[in-house]
């Protein structure tokens, strides 16, 4: 079934994309954004984002050249927090994306005194969620995301 193929593709593309941190493979776009492409035939994704702080973007997945799934996201790091440790734990959490709910990271992950938490609703076809990173109870990072299937039948 295509949903199960999509689920595995999202895990693979996430681990090869931002979570890996290999920015040499990212494409700098003329509008100031960056795109992280990933392809595993017949699937293809483009994770396009504007970042520094705060950041926002969207990931679009196509199947056989047709749009199939989308996720949009927006997040920020507290102005008083150092960004490097926050983004380090975020990338580590994203590498641990749960295969049955491949929206971002696991429900909880901690490292070096930082705690990543992720809460979501829905399933791969229609979902929303929020992730946070805290240290000693202080909120350092927050992001919201939502998405699901697109172009599954005629609209407009």
CA 138 to chain centre: 23
Q: Are 125 and 65 in contact (CB under 8 A)?
A: no
What percent of the chain shows pLDDT beyond 70? 97
Cis? peptide before 42, omega within 30° of 0: yes
Cut 0.85: pTM above it = yes
pLDDT band at 156 (very low <50, low <70, confident <90, very high): low
The widest CA-to-CA distance across the chain, in whole angstroms, is 50
Q: Is the predicted pLDDT of residue 20 greater than 80, yes or no? A: no
Q: How does pLDDT run across 105-149, given as a tens digit for each residue?
A: 999 999 999 999 999 999 999 999 999 999 999 999 999 999 999
């Amino acid at each position: 079934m295509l949903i199960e193929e999509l689920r595995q593709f999202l895990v693979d593309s996430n681990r090869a994309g931002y979570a890996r941190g290999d920015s040499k493979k990212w494409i700098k776009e003329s509008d100031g954004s960056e795109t992280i492409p990933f392809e595993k035939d017949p699937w293809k994704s483009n994770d396009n984002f504007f970042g520094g702080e705060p950041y926002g973007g969207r990931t679009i997945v196509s199947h056989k050249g047709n749009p199939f799934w989308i996720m949009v996201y927006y997040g920020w790091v507290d102005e008083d927090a150092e960004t490097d440790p926050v983004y380090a734990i975020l990338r580590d959490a994203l590498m641990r994306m749960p295969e049955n709910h491949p929206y971002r990271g696991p429900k909880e992950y901690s490292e070096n005194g930082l705690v990543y938490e992720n809460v979501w609703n829905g399933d791969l076809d229609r979902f929303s969620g929020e992730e946070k990173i805290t240290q000693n109870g202080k909120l350092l990072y927050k992001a919201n995301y939502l998405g699901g299937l697109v172009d599954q039948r005629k609209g407009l």
